A and B are shown apart, each in its own frame.
Chain A
């Protein structure tokens, strides 16, 4: 046990860990938002609801078919992703011609519907979801205790984030995607099915939210409002990072998670607001966001 800046190291590292965990979710969600925004030009307000849906699907799978965490980690994103594809085909595809705001409003309505339905069936109280057998326990690192599950969340989130970044920035599929973002008409002229690509992108972005939801289930309770609480912070993260780059979304997500964690140690009263304050400062200094390009 030693002290850093007069703070017991346990507390410091503990909050740092919580910050990294929160950062993992910020990064995953803002990544999904950035991917969707890049392709669809729509701010997906229902992202939080879809994150919540991921957690609920995992919970329901456990309840009714007895399948545990690992199958849920695969099934839930697929189920939620398919629901996303349906939503895109039914509603969103009609909105691309219109102002961005209509997409925001529509997905806001969807978020209300999804959240309301969940609350109707499950109530507002959280439902518990246990940590999978294989990830119980933890490691004693000497300076702090690291629960296995939390380590897994951080590693998994980093892997998914950089995997997505790699696919989008370094592969042929990603090149198509980026090209279609810049000029969909031209890419279509090359014989690439852009509408289908857009649909699948939305499905993928939504599935990312669901993955985050499943991973969050054992840490936070599974509750209908788990998404809406998070999504607003994620919006602030997105404003800070700027929508321009995938890497920006990841770095800001983790960075702000850590900053938030550290604030809890040094100035606990401000921990809820620190991200918003940073957002205000960034807007004053760099209106396009840290990694954004001026539109």
Chain B
């Protein structure tokens, strides 16, 4: 990785997506959807649903690092708190699953706004350290708060309930379709962001922030919006995961989760839209089944390839 992962912009075809490029992306998208539709017949749907949640999480993270060049080391904050609030809303407030997910997503957005407005004051490694520290602060809060179960930090026995009061989500197939829909919606949303004029400004900031400022863009505002968007989607991923696995735990707010999403995104490929979504199934599986240093090896390998 001698060059920064910015080459797509250097080539003329990226500035104006050629027909060929757009076609190949469409094909990749169709293949991905087809694979996700067929996959539950061959492997555990629960595993796939979790993988999709992590994939959305990784895509949300990649929106920041891949397209704005901001390395957040605290994305577990939005993922974990999204999952806590959605689990709490579904269990204690008895909200229906779609509302619970909305609550979790809104939590991600709100936390993203708070943390983001602090973190974008610094750049580079400071940005990473600040996001990490803020996430850890909220981790300790989750460790002590009553509603997360205190030291246990676990909300168990969340009911999946009925979507819109109609569709029974206890049925794996129904749940799978819902998660797939959420994942694809999030994925397309990110795709749209990246290819919008707003996304082009983000890429400009990644390439050369000073230049973007001199062109009259209020880069801080753009960075904050991107940060909030990323946090929102991470919250949505966490919220969905809480409904799927019917629990929320401290693992999802703790800092190794922030590290894991960095790994997933790096393994999948920074600044590529399909990379991070394909990585979780492999990387997440690898990190749950084998000792964590395997993922460490992955990372070192990735950096030098």
Chain A residues proximal to chain B, CB less than 8 Å: 43, 91, 94, 98-102, 104-106, 108-117, 119-120, 228, 232-233, 235-236, 238-239, 269, 272-273, 275-277, 279-280, 283-284, 287, 295
Contact B128 A104 (CB under 8 A): yes
Q: Which 6 A-B pairs have the closest CB atoms?
A: A116-B293, A112-B296, A276-B137, A109-B299, A113-B296, A272-B140
B4 near A283 with CB under 8 A, answer no
Q: Is the interface of B mostly helix, strand, loop or mixed?
A: helix
- Distance, CA A119 to CA B292, complexed state (A): 10
Give Cα A110 to B295, complex, Å: 10
Across the interface, do A232 and B136 meet the contact criterion of CB distance under 8 Å?
yes
Provide the residues of chain A in CB contact with B4, threshold 8 Å. 98-99
In the complex the two chains form, what is the Cα distance from A237 to B133 in whole Å?
Answer: 10
Residue of A nearest to B295 (CB): A112
Given contact pairs A111-B296, A272-B144, a sample of 20 additional A-B residue pairs in the complex whose CB atoms are under 8 Å apart:
A91-B300, A102-B1, A102-B303, A104-B125, A106-B303, A108-B259, A109-B299, A110-B296, A110-B300, A112-B259, A112-B296, A113-B296, A116-B292, A116-B293, A117-B293, A236-B133, A239-B126, A272-B140, A283-B118, A287-B122
Taking CB atoms, residues of chain A closer than 8 Å to B126 are: 239
Contact code string B134-151 (vs A, CB < 8 Å = 1, else 0):
101100110110000000
Question: A276 to B137, alpha carbons, bound, how many Å?
Answer: 6
Residue pair B291, A279 in contact (C-beta under 8 Å): no
Within 8 A of A (CB), among B95-117: none
Point out the residues of chain B lying under 8 angstroms from A117, CB to CB.
293
Distance between Cα atoms of A235 and B258 in the complex (Å) = 15
Query: Considering only CB atoms, which chain B residue lies closest to A112 in the complex?
Result: B296
B211 CB–A CB distance under 8 Å: no
Residues 294-305 of B, flagged 1 when their CB comes within 8 A of A and 0 if not, give 111111100110
Task: Report the interface size class on chain B.
Answer: 35 or more
Distance between A277 CB and nearest chain B CB, rounded to angstroms: 7
Task: For B266, list chain A residues within 8 Å (CB).
Answer: 105
- Name the prevailing secondary structure of the A interface residues: helix
Does B124 touch A at the CB level, under 8 Å? yes
Q: Does B257 sit within 8 A of A, measured CB to CB?
A: no
The reply to whether A113 and B136 contact each other, CB–CB distance below 8 Å, is no
Task: Please pick, from B140, B141, B293, the residue contacting A113 in the complex, using a CB distance under 8 A.
Answer: B293
Smallest CB-CB separation from A269: which chain B residue? B144
Smallest Cβ-Cβ distance to A111: which chain B residue: B296
A99 B300 Cβ-Cβ under 8 A = no
Q: Which residues of A contact B121 (CB under 8 A)?
A: 283-284, 287
Min C-beta distance of B223 to chain A, whole Å: 14
Contacts of A119 in B (CB 8 A): 291-292
Q: Once the chains are docked, how many angstroms separate the CA of A100 from the CA of B299?
A: 16
Distance in angstroms from A240 CB to nearest chain B CB is: 9
Q: Say whether A109 contacts B133, CB under 8 Å.
A: no
Question: Is B229 interfacial (CB-CB < 8 Å)?
Answer: no
Report the Cα distance A273→B132, complex, angstroms.
13
Instruction: Indicate if the CB atoms of B140 and A273 lie closer than 8 Å.
Output: yes
Q: Closest A-chain residue to B117, C-beta based?
A: A284
Cβ–Cβ contact A113 & B143, under 8 A: no
Does B134 lie within 8 Å of A99, measured CB to CB? no
Cα–Cα distance between A78 and B291 once the two chains are bound (Å): 28
Find out whether the CB atom of A279 lies under 8 angstroms from the CB atom of B141.
no
Q: How far is the CA of A112 from the CA of B293 in the complex (A)?
A: 5
Residues in A with CB closer than 8 Å to B136 are: 232-233, 236, 276
Q: Is B71 an interface residue (CB 8 A)?
A: yes
20 A-B residue pairs with Cβ-Cβ distance under 8 Å, sorted by A, are A43-B128, A43-B129, A91-B304, A100-B125, A101-B124, A102-B303, A109-B296, A113-B297, A113-B300, A116-B293, A116-B296, A120-B293, A232-B133, A239-B122, A273-B137, A273-B140, A276-B133, A276-B134, A276-B140, A284-B118
